[in-house]
Structure 1
Amino acid sequence: MTVVALLSVAPVIEGSMSGEVAKAVAELDGFDVSYETNPMGTVIEADDVDTLLAAVGAAHKAVDGDRVSTFLKIDDKRGSDASAREKVDAVEAHLGREAKRER
């Protein structure tokens, strides 16, 4: 089974959050997960939901601040081992092109 999630962790502060976000992303390295960060969050893949939740908890705790906002969306398709890349590949097959466009 592969669990795929979208994670966004940020302190509630004025100005740049990139340093604190980097702390959260770096924390994921301590877990058996793969991830890719994009401008809106980090897509994480794990073999099971317990591993995923442990990694997310550590990422959340790594961010300093009086208030930390965390958004987590989990796709736990229990009858499938499809990776995040395979999900994108399926969409691209329907499009007949890459699911990306530069302006």
Structure 2
Amino acid sequence: MTVIALLSVAPVIEDSMAAEVAKAVDALEDFDVEYETNPMGTVIEADDVGTLFAAAEAAHRAVDADRVSTVLKIDDKRTSEGRAREKVDVVEDQLGRPARSESE
């Protein structure tokens, strides 16, 4: 996988967004992508940018609201095959510890 992105899809509503965000995340299942959702968005990995855009569009369209806010940040490393987890591993190697606080 060579294309990594951070996708954030949210309805612009007053109430909880959880049900609509879940629809967006579920839409990714129809594509050949790996993903992991976190509190600020979903990291997606795909073999190519076309697949990534298709998955992001499906997630956007899955949200049923009068107004939807979508942000897509793409890291398209065309000369190497880096994975999202490897990016975190390198930072953790530099830190000498996990890249998160210990208060849980």
TM surpasses 0.5: yes
Which consecutive residues of structure 1, in runs of 5 or more, have no partner in the other structure?
none
SS in structure 2 of the partner of residue 54 of structure 1: helix
Q: Distance in 2 between matches of 1:47 and 1:102?
A: 34
1:66–1:50 Cα change, 3 Å: same
Number of residue-to-residue matches in the alignment: 103
Structure-2 residue corresponding to 1:27: 27
TM (normalized to structure 1)? Answer: 0.97
Structure 2 residue runs of 5 or longer lacking an equivalent are none
What CA deviation, in whole Å up to 9, does each residue of 1:78-101 have, x standing for no partner? 111000000000000100111111
Matches within 5 A, 1:19-98: 19-98=19-98
User: TM-score if structure 2 supplies the norm length?
Assistant: 0.96
Whichever residue aligns with residue 41 of structure 1, its letter is G
Aligned mates of 1:29, 1:37 — CA distance in 2: 13
* Segments ≥4 residues shifted beyond 2 Å: none
What is the identity, as a one-letter code, of the residue corresponding to 1:17? M
